[in-house]
Structure 1
Amino acid sequence: MGAVSSPCFVIFPFMAHGHTIPLLYLVRLLRRRGISVAVFTTPANAPSIRSFLKDDDIKSTSIIELPFPNKPIDGVPPGVENTHDLPSISSFFEFVNVTTLMRPDFENALEGLHPVGCIISDAFLGWTQETAAKLGVPRYFFFGMSGFATTVHRVLERDRPHAHTSSLDEPFGFPDFPGLELTRNHFEPPFNELQPSGPQVDFILQLGVTMVKSQGLIVNSFYELETRYLEYWNNNIGPKAWCVGPLCLAAKPPPTSENQPWIQWLDHNSPVLYVAFGTQAEISAEQLKEIAEGLERSGVKFLWVIRPKMMKHLEEGFEERVKDRGLMVKVWANQNEILMHKSVTGFLSHCGWNSVMESVCAKVPILALPFMAEQHLNARFVAAEECGVGLRVMPRGGSVRGFVEAEEVEKMVRELMDGSRGAEVRKRVEEVGEAAAEAMRHGGSSWVGLGGLIEDASGGKEALPIVAITQ
């Protein structure tokens, strides 16, 4: 008879870089705790995941490929298996819905993984809850958002504190969170409408049903950063939120012998403002020109990681004019590595939550310029006193949403890099960054949280010894 296999933790990320990378960090942490892990993905996404998980300490992790459905998606070329490659973000929800067709292959593959201990899947893969129930194992979902954004979204939907506002920019409060004021413009359309409706709303409502049935929510944050929102979630909403982050602290430093040209540039330039707006946001040509003009006029040194297709929207001659103090990087770059570089002292960011966590852990203050999804909420949290690790670039007219002019970019870049408010948030991010590191250390709140999650998923039992799983 062969040795008895330990329960396998199944990890199923959504096919988007920002959703996948945090869960791969979680894989690394689980393996360090002696947990057998199988990661599910599609053929086009598998190579990057294998590359990410090639470290010796996790070499026995299984990576199981499922065929991506061949159902046509309007406006999307065949073969696209990651949201990064979508021609337009307008196809996002149809892309998500197509993943439901993966369920039969997923369940067939699980039959070879006895025993499955639990399923940890992205919230967008809500259909995996039905599979978990069928197997009789717990399912935990990963939203990728902050505890703050997740909680206020749910409270807005449930309690409707915005119901009597007459405009998108009229402030309203939250009785359960004294001192918190938001506007409807902090929320993405159509969820900022008084009576939201449409396919996006229907989709989120469907996800809500799967979330309620799930065993728990995995949060890429730490308890000390978002205490009152996490406690409120656990006491008044649920299912239980498990803080296990910042997950980016599970990253391994890249070999110095493999430094990229932009790292070599940083070695000889300081101080530098890092500029990046993620892989999803669709930024208009007019807005990009204003950002570029503001950076040029600010006089600061900057490194801008930009998607190649966006370069055509910049004013002709821009790159040549700033070449002595600005570097344009048009390929994928390791953001964590850039932020950790000693020369980087500020981050002009879209405020995706992964970017916020990476910036905090690198102790680099943020200049928030949000565009979509929950980024406006993150920007508010970052620049508010309760977090205080950044400043906010404001659109013209005083709204939190709208067109940002070059003068505002110039002014706020200078303030972050050289002003008194910049000095204040730089001091604050040092404190928060140290708290984040402490949470992930042995005995810290996130270290304990991960142990509690493992015990919960194991039915209150200690984790069993490592057993490699092959497929």
Structure 2
Amino acid sequence: MASSTSSNTHLLVYTFQPPGHIIPLLDLTDHLLRRGLTITVIISASNLSLLNPLIASHPTFLHKLVFTDPDPDHNPSSDHPLIDEVLATQKLFDPIVKWFESHPSPPLAIISDFFLGWTNELASHLGIRRLVFSPSGALGYSIFNILWQDTFEINALNSREDESFLLSFTELPNSPELAWCQLSQLWRSYKKGDPGFENFRKGILDNMTSWGMVFNTFEGLEGVYIDYVKKQMGHDRVWAVGPLLPDEHGAMGSTGRGGSSAVPPHDLLMWLDKKRDDSVVYVCFGSRETLSEKQMSALTSALELSNVDFILCVKESDLKFITSGFEERVGGRGFMIKGWAPQLAILRHQAVGSFVTHCGWNSTLEGVSSGVMMLTWPKGADQFANAMLLVDQLSVGIRVCEGGPEEVPDSTELARILDESLKSDRPERIKVKKLNQTATKAVKEGTSIQDLDSFVMHLSEL
């Protein structure tokens, strides 16, 4: 229940553009609004539709600060579109300052995506606190942060030709190891001295000097890595408040979360209702990852060879790689979604037993929170670290495609794993059900709700 103190607390929320970054921060916004905070969300015009359900649910205390999408400057030396996207957001420094100075009751803190490290300087200029929101887990974030700390090491590794060369992160708990090809492509393309990259690198390192940090994770999933981040930051203003997922009936309900489904949710759920419990494999590679022609061929061949019922979510750009007649050949076993899928509603359905996933952090949390066994096929970013967490440390998943982003699985072996994944006695399935219970407890009465309350209290005391 909101207190009179928290209702006077005004927080500025700044999202980064991709859906995988926006959606969890809006989930957090929903939780904070229900605790009585006043919130202004900085959002681009193209993403306003993602915010509208929250505005309709919280018309009094939620406000929007909409800017037209900044045009990324052409920066030929950086050679990376993400760098240009981040640089483009910095054009909003002065407009935000102008808005802040004209506001009758301006925010006392800003929470912004970890790619927007430049907002540290913005907060300092405005005389307010800045908090980091990480759309990645604590392990993935820590590895990414370590990579950017040592430019000498970066330059040394940039000259390596051995894609399988292993890097050990010995300062982290469990001393994780990743191959060169499994590390952030953005980091691997770093060019020392390039203004765009150096600007971005400064922002990443500035995150660790922020007043606080919020993770969409929970103690039972990543406790040792949350403790590591606290040690690195030198204080305890690090909150693990996840999994940040909507309930069935909230403003950000599971069927409409993140956008409109490419198929009527009712039709999809009716199809699932006809299936036995834990009998369906859900296959999806998130909002941004795509498959090569060889990878799609291996995947669809495996689905045909297997005996499982499945839902296959395919991007429009990948449809050309699906062979003619595939849908007819799999008949009633398969349901294909061409575009955005209501993923959370699918995973929460009792018929779904396993999940072929790229291991993006949102998908990882949604799978764990639904008690669904993960079949890991990471492609880039923090996904290899997340797969390592699921398979090697938590034992709630099985690798179906190892190696680098372009690795192609063996269709026959993949078909076998698909069939095996639905067996009730799989140890991974038993463990993920227990982890699901831990996640549920964390957000209802455990560490995550305690951290969320602590976070609100700290804001109110400002």
Q: What's the TM-score once normalised by structure 2's chain length? A: 0.85
Task: Name the structure 2 match of 1:135.
Answer: 126
Change (3 A) 1:143 1:197: farther
**Pairwise mapping of residues 33-432 of structure 1 onto structure 2 (< 5 A)?**
33-55=35-57, 60-70=61-71, 91-110=81-100, 111-112=102-103, 114-158=105-149, 167-171=162-166, 173-177=168-172, 179-185=174-180, 186-189=182-185, 191=187, 197=192, 201-237=197-233, 240-249=237-246, 252=249, 254=253, 259-270=265-276, 271-384=279-392, 386-395=393-402, 402-418=407-423, 423-432=426-435
What residue identity is the alignment partner of 1:35?
A: L
Distance 2:416 2:248 in 1: 34
Higher mean C-alpha displacement, 166-175 vs 287-296 = 166-175
Per-residue CA deviations over 1:308-350 (Å, capped at 9, x if unaligned) read: 2211111111122113200111132221111111111111111
What residue identity is the alignment partner of 1:390?
A: G
Secondary structure of the residue that 1:247 maps to in structure 2?
A: coil
Change (3 A) 1:248 1:168: same
Secondary structure of the residue that 1:38 maps to in structure 2?
A: strand
Distance 1:261 1:90 in 2: 40
Counterpart contact for 1:7–1:114, Cα < 8 Å: no
The CA RMSD measured in Å over matched residues stands at: 3.2
Distance 2:163 2:82 in 1: 25
CA-CA distance at 1:180 after TM superposition: 3.4
Distance 2:176 2:38 in 1: 44
**Pairwise mapping of residues 447-458 of structure 1 onto structure 2 (< 5 A)?**
447-458=449-460
What residue identity is the alignment partner of 2:271?
A: W
Distance 1:227 1:446 in 2: 11
Unaligned 5+ residue runs, structure 1?
76-88, 462-471
CA-CA distance at 1:400 after TM superposition: 8.3
Change (3 A) 1:150 1:259: closer
Per-residue CA deviations over 1:264-314 (Å, capped at 9, x if unaligned) read: 111112311111101111321221111111111112110112112211111
Per-residue CA deviations over 1:328-374 (Å, capped at 9, x if unaligned) read: 11132221111111111111111000001011111111111111111
Per-residue CA deviations over 1:93-148 (Å, capped at 9, x if unaligned) read: 32222111122222222232513121011122223222211121111111211111
What residue identity is the alignment partner of 2:212?
A: G
Distance 1:197 1:309 in 2: 34
What residue identity is the alignment partner of 1:306?
A: V
CA-CA distance at 1:430 after TM superposition: 1.0
Higher mean C-alpha displacement, 207-216 vs 167-176 = 167-176
What residue identity is the alignment partner of 2:284?
A: A
CA-CA distance at 1:418 after TM superposition: 2.9
Counterpart contact for 2:114–2:133, Cα < 8 Å: yes
CA-CA distance at 1:198 after TM superposition: 7.5
Per-residue CA deviations over 1:206-237 (Å, capped at 9, x if unaligned) read: 22243133112210001221121111121134
Change (3 A) 1:231 1:59: same
Change (3 A) 1:252 1:113: farther
Change (3 A) 1:261 1:329: same
What residue identity is the alignment partner of 2:88?
A: V
CA-CA distance at 1:58 after TM superposition: 6.1
Distance 1:207 1:92 in 2: 13
Q: Does 1:440 align with 2:436?
A: no
What residue identity is the alignment partner of 1:311?
A: L
Counterpart contact for 1:7–1:115, Cα < 8 Å: no
CA-CA distance at 1:157 after TM superposition: 5.0
What residue identity is the alignment partner of 1:428?
A: K
Moved over 6 A (4+): 159-166, 398-401
Change (3 A) 1:260 1:93: farther
What residue identity is the alignment partner of 2:134?
A: F
Per-residue CA deviations over 1:157-181 (Å, capped at 9, x if unaligned) read: 5589998999443445444456434
Q: What's the TM-score once normalised by structure 1's chain length? A: 0.83
Query: What percent identity do the matched residue pairs reach?
Result: 27
CA-CA distance at 1:401 after TM superposition: 6.5
Counterpart contact for 1:68–1:102, Cα < 8 Å: no
